[in-house]
């Protein structure tokens, strides 16, 4: 598939960006409420709740490289990645609703099994869409700056999705005094919005000529070997992926902990809505600003600045241990400003990595890169929720069932604060070391493709 060198039309940018309404919704809402749903509505122990989420994410990591390779094969055979994206967009809302539709008659073990199976299917459907979706920017344009523009507006919609689902999800959950019914209402509305956003973005996937002599799909083992191959041969990809995984772990930890901070530190379940407004309002405003900064100073340098800003904001919230209060919305807003850059810049750098590899090793591996990237992103976010459950268990968190609210020991409240501040800040610091190893620059990407003269 040959990408156009022309400036991307607005329709393409808009249609691609709307896909993040779905991906952002799925990444945000389960990360925000699923562990809390398991511990404080279904009465499942914190470590067991973490295991439920982790199993689904491990499965996601296992299948992402295979889906990436099969997506590349589908592109050659049909001329487009639309088939995979459409299937994921149609299936995900169904399984998302089932995840939060646990019958009240089930005991805690059966409830945990129900959620595990439903969320496994959710993860599968999400990967069917997300992996080819991640691969598209490298096929839509070859321009270094056009990719920044494309991914900047994707992050604007992503930030809007985080606000919509992060703030609106808990409000929908509160629509019923019965917490189980409230979660089901939330899942139905959110699932439909996620599916619609994904289906709209399917239309942007390029359609080209299918290969008249398509090769048979490779074995699963070959898919994994090919995925490991892109990791081995692309040093910029390893550096960028390592950075994104560490930062995904940090943000996933904070996302999963936000509801606990609202409930047990700020003493209001509804405060989670204001936390998300404080986070996302700056992100919506500043995503285009990070695009302009990157065009002037380079994506990688702007990415470093965004990461440092986020880390400083996170570590300042350690003070919640001694002085909980509304002042927390200020550092959360600073983190939101940084988060816009932490999302748009690496996503704009990924197509550069893919095109750099294509110059050296030939086209046709964008799906593989997308699969490995999605697996890494999923790993980071999953480990964030898992880390939170470990901290909760170690600090003595007491679970609840239904409307019954248990009192928490001081140690549990301190654990919640540290998981929202100091631990993410340490992860951000570690990510700066991997980011320092990323060495691609604009001149490497926009340099003309060398040609070979053939003499008679």
For residue 370, give the 3-state DSSP assignment: helix
Structure confidence by residue, pLDDT tens digits, 370-385: 878 877 877 787 788 7
How far is the C-alpha of 47 from the C-alpha of 64, rounded, in Å?
A: 25
Structure confidence by residue, pLDDT tens digits, 101-123: 999 899 999 999 999 999 999 98
In a domain, 66, yes or no: yes
In a domain, 223, yes or no: no
Instruction: Please give the pLDDT value at position 66.
Output: 86
**Percentage of residues in the chain having pLDDT higher than 90:** 32
With bands split at pLDDT 50, 70 and 90, how would you rate the model's confidence at 452? very low
Instruction: Please give the pLDDT value at position 400.
Output: 66
What is the arithmetic mean of pLDDT over 323-347? 92
pLDDT at residue 359 above 90?
no
The residue with greater pLDDT, 452 or 426, is 426
How far is the C-alpha of 313 from the C-alpha of 335, rounded, in Å?
A: 6
pLDDT at residue 395 above 70?
yes
| Boundaries of domain holding 68 | 17-205+229-439
272, two tokens: 């989670």
Give yes or no for a contact between 274 and 329, defined as CB atoms under 8 angstroms apart: yes
Instruction: Please give the pLDDT value at position 307.
Output: 96
Measured over the CA atoms of residue 419, residue 422, residue 426 and residue 431, the dihedral's sign is positive
In a domain, 137, yes or no: yes
What is the arithmetic mean of pLDDT over 34-44? 87
Of 374, 362, 348, nearest to 440 (Cα)? 348
With bands split at pLDDT 50, 70 and 90, how would you rate the model's confidence at 288? confident
In a domain, 72, yes or no: yes
What is the arithmetic mean of pLDDT over 300-328? 95
How far is the C-alpha of 2 from the C-alpha of 394, rounded, in Å?
A: 53
Instruction: Please give the pLDDT value at position 4.
Output: 40
The residue with greater pLDDT, 324 or 60, is 324
DSSP 22-73: HHHHHHHHHHHHHHHHHHHTB---HHHHHHHHHHHHHHHHHHHHHHHHHHHH
In a domain, 448, yes or no: no
pLDDT at residue 31 above 50?
yes
Alpha carbon of residue 276 to chain centroid: 16
Structure confidence by residue, pLDDT tens digits, 141-162: 777 778 778 888 888 888 888 8
What is the arithmetic mean of pLDDT over 71-89? 86
How far is the C-alpha of 62 from the C-alpha of 56, rounded, in Å?
A: 10
**Percentage of residues in the chain having pLDDT higher than 70:** 90
Of 86, 84, 82, nearest to 70 (Cα)? 84
Element (H, E) at 102: none
Structure confidence by residue, pLDDT tens digits, 252-282: 888 878 888 998 999 887 788 888 788 878 8
- CA distances for 152 relative to 155, 306, 360, angstroms: 5, 14, 27
What is the arithmetic mean of pLDDT over 28-56? 84
How far is the C-alpha of 438 from the C-alpha of 442, rounded, in Å?
A: 12
Least confident of 43-57, 337-351, 437-451: 437-451
How many domains does the structure of the chain reveal? Answer: 1
Residue count of the chain: 456
Alpha carbon of residue 41 to chain centroid: 25
Helices (H) and strands (E) in the chain, counts: 15, 0
Burial of 448 (0-12, 13-18, 19+ CB in 10 A): exposed
Instruction: Please give the pLDDT value at position 213.
Output: 58
What is the arithmetic mean of pLDDT over 46-72? 83
In a domain, 247, yes or no: yes
Helical axes 410-420 vs 235-260, angle rounded to 10°:
150
Q: For the whole model, what pTM was predicted? A: 0.73
Instruction: Please give the pLDDT value at position 75.
Output: 82
Structure confidence by residue, pLDDT tens digits, 160-196: 888 888 778 888 888 888 889 999 999 999 999 999 9
In a domain, 75, yes or no: yes
Instruction: Please give the pLDDT value at position 182.
Output: 92
What is the arithmetic mean of pLDDT over 347-364? 81
In a domain, 210, yes or no: no
Structure confidence by residue, pLDDT tens digits, 191-250: 999 999 999 999 888 876 666 555 655 566 767 777 778 778 889 999 999 999 999 899
Question: Could you tell me which residues come within 8 angstroms of residue 105 by beta carbon, excluding any fewer than 6 positions away?
Answer: none
What is the arithmetic mean of pLDDT over 408-422? 91
* CATH value at residue 32: 1.20.1250.20
How far is the C-alpha of 195 from the C-alpha of 178, rounded, in Å?
A: 26
How far is the C-alpha of 289 from the C-alpha of 323, rounded, in Å?
A: 33
């Amino acid at each position: 598939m040959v990408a156009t060198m022309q400036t991307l039309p607005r329709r393409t940018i808009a249609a691609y960006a709307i896909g993040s309404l779905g991906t952002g919704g799925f990444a945000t809402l389960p990360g925000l409420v699923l562990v809390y749903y398991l511990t404080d509505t279904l009465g499942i122990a914190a470590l067991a709740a973490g295991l439920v989420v982790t199993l689904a994410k491990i499965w996601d990591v296992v299948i992402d490289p295979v889906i990436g390779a099969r997506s590349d094969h589908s592109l050659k055979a049909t001329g487009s990645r639309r088939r995979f994206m459409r299937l994921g967009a149609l299936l995900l809302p169904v399984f998302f609703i089932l995840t939060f539709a646990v019958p009240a008659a089930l005991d805690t073990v059966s409830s945990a099994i129900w959620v595990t199976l439903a969320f496994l299917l959710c993860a599968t459907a999400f990967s069917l869409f997300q992996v080819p979706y991640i691969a598209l920017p490298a096929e839509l344009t070859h321009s270094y700056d056009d990719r920044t523009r494309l991914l900047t507006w994707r992050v604007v919609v992503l930030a809007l999705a985080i606000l919509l689902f992060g703030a609106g999800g808990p409000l929908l959950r509160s629509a019923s005094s019965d917490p189980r019914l409230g979660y089901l209402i939330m899942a139905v509305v959110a699932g439909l919005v996620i599916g619609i956003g994904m289906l709209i973005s399917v239309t942007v996937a390029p359609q080209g000529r299918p290969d008249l002599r398509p090769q048979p799909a490779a074995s699963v083992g070959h898919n994994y070997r090919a995925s490991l191959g892109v990791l081995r041969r692309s040093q910029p990809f390893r550096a960028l992926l390592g950075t994104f995984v560490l930062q995904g772990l940090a943000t996933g930890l904070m996302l999963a902990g936000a509801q606990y901070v609202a409930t047990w530190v700020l003493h209001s379940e509804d405060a989670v809505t204001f936390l998300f407004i404080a986070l996302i309002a700056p992100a919506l405003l500043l995503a285009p600003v990070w695009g302009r900064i990157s065009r002037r100073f380079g994506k990688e340098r702007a990415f470093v600045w965004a990461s440092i800003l986020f880390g400083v904001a996170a570590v300042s919230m350690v003070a919640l241990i001694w002085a909980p209060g509304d002042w927390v919305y200020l550092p959360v807003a600073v983190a939101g400003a940084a988060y816009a850059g932490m999302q748009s810049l690496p996503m704009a750098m990924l197509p550069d990595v893919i095109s750099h590899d294509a110059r050296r090793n030939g086209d046709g591996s964008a799906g593989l890169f997308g699969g490995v990237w999605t697996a890494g992103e999923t790993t980071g976010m999953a480990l964030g929720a898992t880390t939170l459950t470990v901290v909760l268990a170690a600090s003595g968190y007491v679970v609840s069932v239904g409307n019954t609210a248990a009192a928490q020991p001081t140690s549990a409240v301190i654990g919640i604060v540290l998981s929202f501040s100091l631990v993410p800040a340490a992860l951000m610091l570690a990510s700066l070391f991997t980011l320092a190893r990323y060495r691609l620059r604009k001149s490497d990407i926009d340099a003309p493709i060398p040609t070979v003269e053939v003499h008679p």
